[in-house]
Amino acid sequence: MSFDKHHTLERLAHALKTGQTTSQALVEQALGCIEDDEGQGPVAFIRVFADTAREQALASDARRAAGSPKSEIDGLPISVKDLFDIEGCTTRAGSVVLSDCEPATEDAVVVQRLRAAGAIILGTTNMTEFAYSGLGLNPHYGTPLSPWDREHGRIAGGSSSGAAVSVYDGMAVAAVGTDTGGSVRIPAAFCGIVGYKPTAARIDMTGALPLSLNLDSIGPMAHSVVSCAWLASIMAGEPIETPTPCDLAGMTFGVPNELVLDEMDETVSGTFTAACQALEQAGAKVVSLSMPELLELAELNAAGGFTAAQAWQWHAELLQNQQTEYDPRVAVRIRRGEALDADYVEQLQEKRLDWIARVVKRMQGVDALVMPTVPVVPPLLGPLVSDDEIYAKTNLLALRNPSVINFLDGCAVSLPCHQADQAPVGFMLAAAGGQDARLLSIAAACEAVFAHEPSL
């Protein structure tokens, strides 16, 4: 039995449990979507493990027949971003620079945990080279497109571009990405799916190629909050938790007055306003929240921030020897860190901790912050390819709101809040670090209010 490509992990897990489908059928359906000549598979995936996936699906079905599945997600096909180590494969991180490096000797920790739960890793997904952009362009492997308005070619967002497309297009039932400044939430918003950025410390980054040790986090993308919560639990090495939607009556959501509503296009503005009104009709209060600290971020990161400083530390030797093989736009951004030393990083971290304390204090009167995930709908690819100035401006705009939460060391969920026939718009809920369980319960309640057909 085949399933609509927008089914959730929990729905498919139930179908496997009740014998409505098999892991083999789900894997073949996903591989069929990847191999579709008219689809996005060739640009969404850098590497596909078709033979291994089929073998693992057969083994999963045998476990179920014997009454011993490894977990609720045993047999479900998952994609992972190209920067996670896969035993026996060279970790390229969307680049050609590392092509001659030795293969990984073991899986990344999150991949190990997913396999231990019975998940089937279908392949590694395309991304911005070395995860250093929020737009998802890749000159080496192609650029995945948002499912909205593919006729004209709009970006899927980055850096986890292929991950989001793999989920929306039915090439995987869920995906694993990373988020340093929005790299899970931006593509989730641009592709009309759910993206969850956990508190960074929740999920072990071992075996993931780093961008910024101070900001990196691992997060899932899927068609529901519960799906994301399940995957996050597994990747964190915790028992699977299903968030119970909270009662929105009496909840208070704060929309920062500063920064996050600037430069919204008409579609995002109208859709975000309608989403806030829907929450109010469900009994919540949506209030304006003074947060002048957000205006400090530009100055705090003016020299390049943690990302430039720490990316340079990792890439310095490679750039000296192989810069011509890099995406020029990525190389330029990494080189911003050349003048930033360990003292700079230490001082910035001290300033960050002070900033976090002040922002958390501002948040004490609300249950969560809310804002548009990205203030614009998915931009057209053409102008971004041809004009460096447009690219740079658009990248900063896409990263602006999500990166607030990375600097806060917080947690966040991007929910689709648009109508089925409209351009995708993400509604971001965010909380301070360590409040993941409560945030997921709130997100599940909001998801029910925004429920819509997933087609764009």
What Å distances lie between residue 307 and 131, 186, 215, 310, CA to CA? Answer: 10, 17, 8, 5
Angle among Cα 283, 404, 196 to the nearest 5 degrees reads 60
> Exposure of 384 by Cβ count < 10 A (0-12 exposed, 13-18 middle, 19+ buried)?
buried
- How far is 187 from 373, CA to CA, in rounded Å? 10
**For all residues of the chain together, what is the average pLDDT?**
97
Alpha helices in 36-108 (DSSP H): 41-44, 50-65
What is the spatial distance between Cα 378 and Cα 148, in angstroms, rounded to a whole number? 8
Locate 52 and state its tokens.
């291994």
> Which pLDDT score, from 0 to 100, does residue 452 have?
57
What single DSSP character describes residue 282? Answer: T
Give every CB contact of residue 74 below 8 A, 6+ residues apart in sequence. Answer: 16, 23, 60, 63, 64, 117, 118, 119
pLDDT in tens, 215-270: 999 999 999 999 999 999 999 999 999 999 999 999 999 999 999 999 999 999 99
Q: Which pLDDT belongs to residue 6?
A: 85
- Residue 25's closest CA among 35, 16, 14, 38? 16
pLDDT band at 410 (very low <50, low <70, confident <90, very high): very high
Alpha helices of 224-304 — where are they, by DSSP H?
225-235, 266-281, 297-300
pLDDT of residue 1 exceeding 70, the answer is no
What's the pLDDT score for residue 2?
62
Would you call 48 exposed, middle or buried from its count of C-beta atoms within 10 A (0-12, 13-18, 19+)? buried
Considering only the C-alpha atoms of the chain, give the largest distance between any 2 of them, rounded to a whole number of Å. Answer: 60
- Residue 378 is given by DSSP the state P
At 455, the pLDDT band (50, 70, 90 cuts) reads: very low
Which residue blocks in 248-304 are alpha helix, DSSP H?
266-281, 297-300
Q: Per-residue pLDDT averaged across 101-120, rounded?
A: 98
Q: Are 242 and 215 in contact (CB under 8 A)?
A: no
Half-sphere exposure for 152 (CA within 13 Å, toward CB) = 7
User: Considering only the top CATH level, what class is 9-235?
Assistant: alpha beta
pLDDT in tens, 267-300: 999 999 999 999 999 999 999 999 999 999 999 9
- The domains of the chain are located at 9-235, 252-297+347-450
Record the pTM: 0.97
Task: Specify the 3-state DSSP secondary structure of 86.
Answer: coil
- Report yes or no: 71 and 23 within 8 Å, Cβ to Cβ: no
CA angle, 176 then 147 then 179, to 5°: 30
Determine phi and psi for 58, rounding to 5 degrees: -60, -45
Cis status, amide bond into 159, omega within 30 of 0: yes
DSSP string, 161-183: HHHHHHHHTTS-SEEEEE-SSST
Q: What percent of the chain has pLDDT over 70?
A: 98
Residue 175 has phi, psi (to 5 degrees) of -140, 155
Active-site residues, by number, are: 81, 159, 183
Evaluate if residue 91 carries a pLDDT over 80.
yes
**d(Cα 392, Cα 21) in Å, to the nearest integer?**
46
